[in-house]
Amino acid sequence: MPELPEVEAARRAIEEHCVGKMIKKALIADDPKVIDGVSPSDFEASLVGKTILSAHRKGKHLWLRLDSPPFPAFHFGMAGAIHIKGVAVTNYKRSMVKDDDEWPSKYSKFFVELDDGVDLSFTDKRRFAKVCLLKDPPSVPPISKLGPDALLEPMKLDVFIESLGKKKLAIKTLLLDQVKMMICMNLHLSLQSYISGIGNWVADEVLYQARIHPSQSAATLSKESCATLHKCIQEVIEKALEVGADSSQFPNNWIFHSREKKPGKAFVDGKEIHFITTGGRTSAFVPELQKLIGAEPKTQNSKRKIDGGKQMDDEGVGELVSKTKETADTTDTKKKPKPNGRSKKTKRKSKSIETDESDEEGENDDACADDDGHDVGKKKAGKKTNIGRIRDASEEDKSLKQTVQSRGNGRQRKKAK
């Protein structure tokens, strides 16, 4: 996902090449998943003839101020990107749109031609971005709910240290929190804003540079560690912007370059990178340098989707598995035939030959995997298969037939006497 450096690089490019110019032509994609709350024709009509006065950003949100409202606003989603024809904006590897592709790109959601011939386009191949029209972007959600911007509104060191000391969340979970959080200080409810603009890769990088484990409880960090983290946040963002957020030019000693490699093949400065889930996101870190001090915070547990999309943390997996086993045991007991009488026949669904995909689904239904990929709560040993059940049923039928035949033979003998 584009984070503060990528979005800021886009903002700076617009400021340099588009500000002060009038929009001559506009083309808005007919894609309601991305174009939010307005029809393409109304969107286009609100742009043509307007002049771009400035470009603004807060966190990972960008908007253009025109000579009159409403103003176009952008959230980049997973693969959103700004393109200016003939201008290298940023080399964001997930934008999925190359400079030599057709123009405007078939993935363009917002395209404007300016009066001097410059073309500006916002593309999104994966369609997780949002583009909308707002009368005053900073005053309405989601922008109004963001905490202070990590670059434009850096938190003072003493405030940063004090705020971390009041949070028992994993430090990475806290860094990823983009909105203002309510905390209670001296029995008075007040707003304590957290940082906006820090996403997954920036959080991993600043924690690696500060030598802090991503699962470390924020409240347990020493003042020295807090000061180092505060410094690293500024340094990582500034260094990324020095190269225009071009990831290929990031420093070689950054964990960024290897954080998407497979486990066992990811290294930085010769040290192996490990991967865990923190706050529902994958975290890359170096255990040799980033030591976890004390117990992991309880709120750190990663979420998993099980049983039709329900989310449950790691602590709840064992409980769920044990309940599943109890239910299975109870069901098996109910299915056993009564000793003095015939059991009711139940319809059984026939199983077709299972493919690899159905095998995986079956494993997900009966077992959960832990963070190391091991199965938790596997199928109960000795459980009878469908074939075994059919054989048991056929044996019961045979014994029943023998009993009926013996009774019939007995009656015939009595009549003969």
Query: CATH no. for residue 42?
Result: 3.20.190.10
* Amino acid 304: pLDDT: 35
Mean pLDDT for 216-224 is: 97
Catalytic residue among 6, 44, 50, 60: 60
* Amino acid 185: pLDDT: 31
Higher-pLDDT residue of 209, 331: 209
- 107, 181: one domain: no
Helix 223-242 × helix 200-209 angle, to 10°: 120
- 137, 186: one domain: no
CB hemisphere CA count around 27 (13 angstroms): 15
Residue 323 appears among annotated catalytic residues: no
- Residue 196: inside a domain: yes
In this predicted structure, which of 28-42, 45-59, 136-150, 323-337 has the lowest mean pLDDT? 323-337
Mean pLDDT for 1-21 is: 95
Q: Which two tokens stand for residue 231?
A: 């410094």
The span from the CA of 416 to the CA of 414, in Å, is 5
Residue where one domain finishes, among candidates 104, 120, 145: 145
- 45, 116: one domain: yes
The span from the CA of 217 to the CA of 382, in Å, is 44
- Residue 369: inside a domain: no
Higher-pLDDT residue of 345, 45: 45
- 205, 95: one domain: no
pLDDT above 70 (res 347): no
Residue 60 appears among annotated catalytic residues: yes
Domain span including residue 131: 4-145
- Residue 305: inside a domain: no
- 40, 117: one domain: yes
**Contact call for residues 72 and 110 (beta carbons, < 8 A):** yes
pLDDT above 60 (res 188): no
Residue where one domain finishes, among candidates 113, 145, 177: 145
- Residue 175: inside a domain: yes
* Amino acid 183: pLDDT: 36
Mean pLDDT score of the chain, rounded to an integer? Answer: 76
Check the CA dihedral 217-219-224-226 and report its sign.
positive
pLDDT above 70 (res 285): yes
Catalytic residue among 3, 6, 113, 205: 3
- 125, 176: one domain: no
- Residue 61: inside a domain: yes
Catalytic residue among 2, 70, 72, 148: 2
Higher-pLDDT residue of 258, 341: 258
**Contact call for residues 107 and 96 (beta carbons, < 8 A):** yes
pLDDT above 60 (res 344): no
- 194, 141: one domain: no
Mean pLDDT for 156-172 is: 93
pLDDT above 60 (res 190): no
- 9, 137: one domain: yes
- 216, 109: one domain: no
Helix 223-242 × helix 157-165 angle, to 10°: 120
The enclosing domain of 252 has a CATH number of 1.10.8.50
- 105, 135: one domain: yes
Query: SS3 for 115?
Result: coil
- Residue 315: inside a domain: no
- Residue 339: inside a domain: no
- 78, 198: one domain: no
Q: Which two tokens stand for residue 65?
A: 């101020």
- Residue 244: inside a domain: yes
**Contact call for residues 232 and 209 (beta carbons, < 8 A):** yes
Number of domains comprising the chain: 2
* Amino acid 252: pLDDT: 96
Residue 130 appears among annotated catalytic residues: no
- 164, 262: one domain: yes
* Amino acid 40: pLDDT: 97
